[in-house]
């Protein structure tokens, strides 16, 4: 049998409590307390309580004071808890005071137990309907596995950001990130494991975005960030930092190290020729796909910044330390030119005979051949 919903009955009169319990016990699991202070402690500790029926006049903490503590609590479950106040004799002043404090219903004890049960049943049904609606709204807004925004909600967030940008004359930028070869990763590791890798990346990303930014799902193995008030150039700078962090990361999955890279597309309004929130997200997604088609592991921002740029010596060393030589190879000439002065100093200090002249000649020839 399903458990009965638990309610809290608070009254300093044992006779009143016993009378009410006789009418409630078939539909509810009733917990009793004799004063407002004990009731408050019970509400804090017992998360299973679904509603409160409280006498108005009680020792230690009155029904008014208990209601005020419940409604001003930082706990959302208490703020929304159905709360019925019972009074020996109803006055307009008492009713107005209770309404001002957020009471759900107000009855006199002379109204009868059957009326109380009917009112309680209605409040419980309303509370369940609200909980169901809230749960549905959360599923629309957030992905149940990652807690990130859904794509549909991201579109709403983008529309709000664009409205703000129009009013204040600032830019809004969007970046869409996707794992290069995500389908192949699924075939290699299995779809559940590949999804786990993507979700771990998303959690890392969530810790790096600003409070005002919105991070959510864009597609399978793809995520989007909406950045209100951010110019495209700054968004590209952040995108490159993210891309480089993923490039050198070592993800351990099932006892094996997985090397992954991401491609990123950036779009911004009003600089890009789009006229809607959906259009802006789609443009960033299109640029992400262009970056993937161009070889992946790069950022495409429609000319705001080159899709690829020379990597730093520090980043090259991090990649080599991670066993990732392939991403460094295309930048070998640039890195060698940067290192020539250092190699010259090492050659001089250690009395070596490094073929620096030959190295310079080879670099010059390769540079000429690429023009």
Question: What residues have CB less than 8 Å from 75, skipping those under 6 apart?
Answer: 44
**Rounded-to-integer distance, Cα 298 and Cα 70, Å:** 53
**Rounded-to-integer distance, Cα 290 and Cα 176, Å:** 12
Q: What domains can be seen in the chain, in order of their start residue?
A: 6-141 (3.40.50.2300), 151-309 (3.30.70.270), 330-370 (no CATH)
* DSSP-derived secondary structure letter, 316: H
Ramachandran sector of residue 190 (left: φ over 0; alpha: ψ -120 to 50; beta: rest): left
Packing angle of the helix pair 151-168, 113-141 (nearest 10 deg): 80
Select from 332, 326, 175 the least CA-distant residue to 243: 175
**Rounded-to-integer distance, Cα 326 and Cα 304, Å:** 26
**Rounded-to-integer distance, Cα 213 and Cα 228, Å:** 7
177 beta partners: 223, 264
Residue 173 near residue 231, CB atoms below 8 Å: yes
Tally Cβ neighbours within 10 Å of residue 49.
19
Question: What residues have CB less than 8 Å from 177, skipping those under 6 apart?
Answer: 205, 218, 222, 223, 224, 225, 239, 242, 262, 263, 264, 288
Tally Cβ neighbours within 10 Å of residue 369.
7
Task: Give me the helices (H) in the chain, please.
Answer: 14-24, 36-45, 63-71, 76-79, 92-101, 113-141, 151-168, 182-189, 191-206, 232-248, 277-293, 313-321, 332-350, 356-370
pLDDT tens sequence for the chain (371 residues): 458 889 999 998 898 889 889 888 888 999 999 999 999 999 988 889 999 999 888 888 888 999 999 998 888 888 888 999 888 776 778 888 888 888 888 888 777 778 888 888 888 887 776 665 555 544 556 666 677 888 888 888 898 888 878 877 889 999 999 999 888 888 877 878 788 888 888 888 888 888 888 899 898 889 999 999 888 888 898 898 888 888 887 777 666 677 788 999 999 998 898 889 999 999 999 999 999 999 999 999 998 754 345 677 887 887 788 777 877 888 888 889 999 999 999 989 999 888 988 988 888 888 887 66
What is the DSSP code string of 251-287?
EEETTEEE---EEEEEEEETTSS--SHHHHHHHHHHH
């Amino acid at each position: 049998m399903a458990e009965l919903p638990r309610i809290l009955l608070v009254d300093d009169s044992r006779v009143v409590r016993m009378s009410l319990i006789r009418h409630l016990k078939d539909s509810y699991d009733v917990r009793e307390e004799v004063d407002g202070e004990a009731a408050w402690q019970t509400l804090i500790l017992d998360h299973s309580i679904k509603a409160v029926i409280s006498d108005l006049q009680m020792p230690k903490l009155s029904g008014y004071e208990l209601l005020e503590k419940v409604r001003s609590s930082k706990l959302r479950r208490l703020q929304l808890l159905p709360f019925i106040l019972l009074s020996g004799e109803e006055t307009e002043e008492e009713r107005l005071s209770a309404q001002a404090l957020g009471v759900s219903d107000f009855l006199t004890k002379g109204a009868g137990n059957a009326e109380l049960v009917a009112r309680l049943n209605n409040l419980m049904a309303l509370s369940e309907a609200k909980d169901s609606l809230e749960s549905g709204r959360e599923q629309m807004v957030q992905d149940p596995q990652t807690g990130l925004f859904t794509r549909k909600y991201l579109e709403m967030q983008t529309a709000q950001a664009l409205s703000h940008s129009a009013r204040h004359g600032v830019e809004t930028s969007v970046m869409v990130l996707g794992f290069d070869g995500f389908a192949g990763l699924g075939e290699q590791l299995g779809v559940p494991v590949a999804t786990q890798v993507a979700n771990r990346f998303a959690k890392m990303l969530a810790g790096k975005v600003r409070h005002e930014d919105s991070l959510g799902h864009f597609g399978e193995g793809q995520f989007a960030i909406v950045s209100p008030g951010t110019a495209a150039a700054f968004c590209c700078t952040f995108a490159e930092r993210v891309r480089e962090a993923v490039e050198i990361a070592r993800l351990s999955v099932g006892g094996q190290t997985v090397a992954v890279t991401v491609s990123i597309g950036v779009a911004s309004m009003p600089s890009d020729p789009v006229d809607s929130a959906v259009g802006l997200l789609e443009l960033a997604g299109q640029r992400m796909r262009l970056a993937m088609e161009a070889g992946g592991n790069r950022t495409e921002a429609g000319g705001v910044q080159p899709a690829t740029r020379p990597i730093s010596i520090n980043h090259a060393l991090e990649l080599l330390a991670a066993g990732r030589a392939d991403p460094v190879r295309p930048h070998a000439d640039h890195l060698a030119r940067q290192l020539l002065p250092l190699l010259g100093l090492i050659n001089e200090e250690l009395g070596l005979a490094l073929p620096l002249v030959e190295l310079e000649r080879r670099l010059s020839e390769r540079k000429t051949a690429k023009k």
